[in-house]
Amino acid sequence: MEFDLRPNHKGMPHPTGDEDYLRKRVLTSRNVRRNRLVDAALGGLNYQIEHHLFPGMSTPNLRKAQPIVQAYCAEIGVSYEETGLVDSCRQALRHLHEVGAPARAGHAAR
């Protein structure tokens, strides 16, 4: 069993099927704010939004595409989520805690 520790999608909305290509990729992902350590640790996948918009793009170019994508999202009113690594992990863990609550409650009732 594999457990994905990358916090880029956990706690983000699920697509309904009504979204266009851009919204489906941007609204269901979050980027982790860059620095050398984050870039190295996440291998460029801290640019998750750009990675999903342009899956064949090389990692160094994801960083270059980020300000363009960010500006375009602001221009058309699409929320672009970017946060620090620690906060991103907190958001993901909070979401996992919330979705696990029913299972914990059922287990405690036994």
Residue 69 has pLDDT above 90, yes or no: yes
What average pLDDT does range 32-57 have in this prediction? 88
Domain ranges for the chain: 21-109
What average pLDDT does range 17-43 have in this prediction? 85
Residue with tokens 């996440």: 42
What does residue 83 show for φ and ψ, rounded to 5 degrees? -145, 170
**CA nearest to 63, candidates 78, 80, 46, 77:** 46
Count the residues in the chain: 110
Instruction: Give the Cα separation of 39 and 23 in Å (integer).
Output: 24
* Whether the model pTM is above 0.75: no
